[in-house]
Structure 1
Amino acid sequence: MPQGPTLITPGGSGRCRRALRALECRELLEGVCSRLVYCSRDMVVVETLVKRGVRVPRHSHEGVQATFVIRGRLLLGVEGRGAEELGPGSYRVIPPGVPHWAEALEDSLVVDVNAPATPDRLELARRLGAGCG
């Protein structure tokens, strides 16, 4: 029988919190460090630490992206919607192909959930040191 995904919950047991902290963080841009939390053909989940003042340039994805702010404050700009400040507990869903950008107003921890696992997100998973699919 196939094994299901490993569930890592930030508010869960100490073992889960240690497991999440143990995942390797890779610097993708200066001041932006990401860890692959989960990857399958259905979705890619990435935790990202963004240093205050760092701007993630305008880009888009082939699939849907849900961005959750865990800690800090983030200015998220989405084409056609303008820019909006997000704080802990806030999230936004960005439709496929819609350009967006972000700027950390303070050191921030963000979780991005991308679905499905499109080629651009599978490439990100590869860059973060894991293959999936």
Structure 2
Amino acid sequence: MTDVRKLSWDDMAVEELTPLIGRRLIYTAQQMLAHVYLKQGALVPAHDHVNEQITYILSGALRFWIGEHADSPGGEYVDVRAGEVLVIPSMVRHRAEALEDTLDVDIFNPPRQDWIDKSDNYLRTGEPMSNGGQG
């Protein structure tokens, strides 16, 4: 028998990371799919990870600071709005802010182990993660 599964986002509890950020996860050994719910003003601190990331905005908008701009955000940023996708390669530092209430779909390869085992303290505390980590 194969391990084919049919899942419904509505049947999954939302994991509250902060009062402004929640998520739902689906993952296999090779990939992860996440719904991330960000209320306006939510901040995702500067971080990087070995995982390739694809972020698809279903509703709302996120502002991203990339590379050296992630640690000292200023005038160089990328706004990603509903219907748009941002591809973030492995080990590219990034930071995000929700410009409005946002639902984004994140795809990771390989899966984010820190999200699975809930060791993603950078996201839960709002403290930037040091370079080269798994956060």
1:28 aligned counterpart, secondary structure: strand
Identity %: 29
Could you report, residue by residue, the CA deviation over 1:25-44 in whole angstroms, capped at 9, with x for unpaired residues? 111133000111x2111111
How far apart in 2 are the matches of 1:105 and 1:43?
28
> CA 1:45–1:107 in 2, change beyond 3 Å: closer, same or farther?
same
Corresponding letter in the other structure for 1:54: A
Mapping 1:92-107, distance limit 5 Å: 92-107=86-101
> CA 1:108–1:80 in 2, change beyond 3 Å: closer, same or farther?
same
TM-score (norm 1): 0.76
1:68 aligned counterpart, secondary structure: strand
How far apart in 2 are the matches of 1:27 and 1:59?
19
Equivalent residue number for residue 126 of structure 1: 117
2:9 aligned counterpart, secondary structure: helix
User: Alpha-carbon deviation of 1:5?
Assistant: 4.5
Contact 1:70 1:110 in 2 (8 A): yes
How far apart in 1 are the matches of 2:4 and 2:65?
35
Equivalent residue number for residue 20 of structure 1: 9
How far apart in 2 are the matches of 1:99 and 1:5?
34
Contact 1:44 1:125 in 2 (8 A): no
Unaligned runs of 5+ in 1: 9-18, 128-133
Could you report, residue by residue, the CA deviation over 1:78-109 in whole angstroms, capped at 9, with x for unpaired residues? 21684111111101110111110110000000
How far apart in 2 are the matches of 1:126 and 1:45?
15
Equivalent residue number for residue 11 of structure 1: none
How far apart in 2 are the matches of 1:68 and 1:100?
15
Equivalent residue number for residue 53 of structure 1: 41
Equivalent residue number for residue 4 of structure 1: 4
Query: Quick one: which of 80, 83, 87 aligns to 1:86?
Result: 80
Equivalent residue number for residue 51 of structure 2: 63
What is the root-mean-square deviation of aligned Cα atoms in Å?
Answer: 2.0
TM-score (norm 2): 0.75
Q: How many residues align?
A: 113
Unaligned runs of 5+ in 2: 70-75, 119-135
- Which ranges of 4 or more aligned residues in structure 1 deviate by more than 6 Å? none
How far apart in 1 are the matches of 2:83 and 2:68?
23
